Chain A
Amino acid sequence: MSDSPVTRASAPPTVPTAQRPLRHRIQRILQPWLLQLALIILCTIMLFPIFSTVMLSLKTEADVRRRPPVLIPCDMPDGGWRLDACRFALDGYRRVFLPRENPTALLGWEITGRIFRLYMPNTLLYATASALLTTLLASMAAYAFSRYRFRGRQSLLVGVLALSGVPLLTMLLALYRMNIVMRNSLAGYDERAFMIAAYVGFELPFAIWLIKGFFDTIPRELEEAARMDGASRLGALGRIVAPLAAPGMASILLLSYVNVWNEFIANYLLMTRADYRGVMYGVYDYIAQALTAYNALAAACIIVMFPMIAVFLATRNVFLHSMVEGALKG
Chain B
Amino acid sequence: MQTSRPSTVARWARFHSQIRRQFRRKLRGRAWLPFWLLLPSLIVIGLIQLYPAFYTFVLSTQRTEAGTGRMIFVGMDNFARLLTSTAFIQSLWHTLFFLGGYVLLTMTLALGIALLLRARVRLRPLYITLLFIPWVISDVIAGVVWRLFVVPDYGQFAPFFANPARFGEPNGISILTSPARDQLSLYIPFPPAPALIFLIFAAAWKVLPFITLLMLAALQTVPREVQESAAIDGATGWQALRFITLPLILPMLTVALFNLTLGGINGVGMVLSLTGGGPGNATEVLSYLLYSTGFSMLDFGLAGALSVVLAVINFALILFTLRTARAYEGHI
Contacts and interface: CB of A to CB of B under 8 A. Distances in A.
Interface stretch (A76-84, A103-111, A173-181): A173-181
Nearest to B234: A1
Given A39-B121, A167-B262, A327-B255, A46 B318 contact: no
A81 to B, nearest CB: 17
Which of B45, B119, B159, B304 has the most CB atoms of chain A within a 10 A radius of its CB? B45
Contacts of A67: 153-154, 159
A137 B34 contact: no
Interface string A203-243: 01100100000000000000000000000010000000000
Interface string A31-73: 0100110110011001101101100100000001111110100
Interface stretch (A112-120, A245-253, A260-268): A260-268
Nearest to B318: A165
A170 B307 contact: yes
Contact of B256 (A42, A150, A165, A327): A327
B154 A171 contact: no
B41 A148 contact: no
Interface stretch (B73-81, B95-103, B139-147, B177-185): B139-147
A88 interface: no
A256 to B, nearest CB: 13
Contacts of B317: 165
Interface in B18-63: 33-35, 37-38, 40-42, 44-45, 47-49, 51-53, 55-56, 59
Given A177-B55, A201-B49, A330-B318, A137 B44 contact: yes
A268 B307 CA distance: 18
Contacts of B119: 35
A287 B148 CA distance: 10
B99 to A, nearest CB: 15
B317 to A, nearest CB: 8
Contacts of A145: 34, 38
B53 A174 contact: yes
A52 to B, nearest CB: 6
A137 to B, nearest CB: 5
Interface in A280-321: 280, 283-284, 287, 292, 294, 297-298, 301, 304-305, 308-309, 311-313, 316, 319-320
B129 A324 contact: no
Q: Which has the most chain A C-beta neighbours within 10 Å: B37, B51, B56, B121?
A: B37
Interface stretch (A12-20, A155-163, A184-192): A155-163
Contact of A53 (B37, B145, B322): B145
Contacts of A42: 113, 116, 127, 131
B122 interface: yes
A160 B319 contact: no
B37 A141 contact: yes
Contacts of B255: 327-328
Contacts, number: 270
Contact of B314 (A32, A138, A170, A201): A170
A197 B46 CA distance: 11
Contacts of A53: 145, 148
A197 B262 contact: no
A200 B48 contact: yes
Query: A52, A69, A294: which has the most chain B beta carbons within 10 Å?
Result: A69
B132 interface: yes
A69 B266 contact: no
Given A173-B56, A174-B55, A284-B272, A36 B122 contact: yes
Interface in B76-107: none
Contacts of A50: 133-134, 137, 145
Interface in B123-169: 123, 127-142, 144-149, 151, 153-156, 158-159
B156 A71 contact: yes
Contacts of A143: 37
A144 B37 contact: yes
15 contacts: A42-B131, A50-B134, A66-B154, A169-B290, A174-B52, A197-B48, A201-B47, A233-B33, A265-B268, A280-B141, A283-B273, A297-B144, A308-B138, A309-B136, A327-B255
Given A39-B117, A56-B148, A170-B311, 20 more contacts: A39-B116, A50-B137, A67-B159, A69-B159, A138-B41, A140-B41, A141-B38, A144-B33, A168-B266, A169-B310, A171-B307, A200-B44, A264-B139, A265-B291, A287-B273, A297-B148, A304-B141, A308-B137, A327-B259, A330-B321
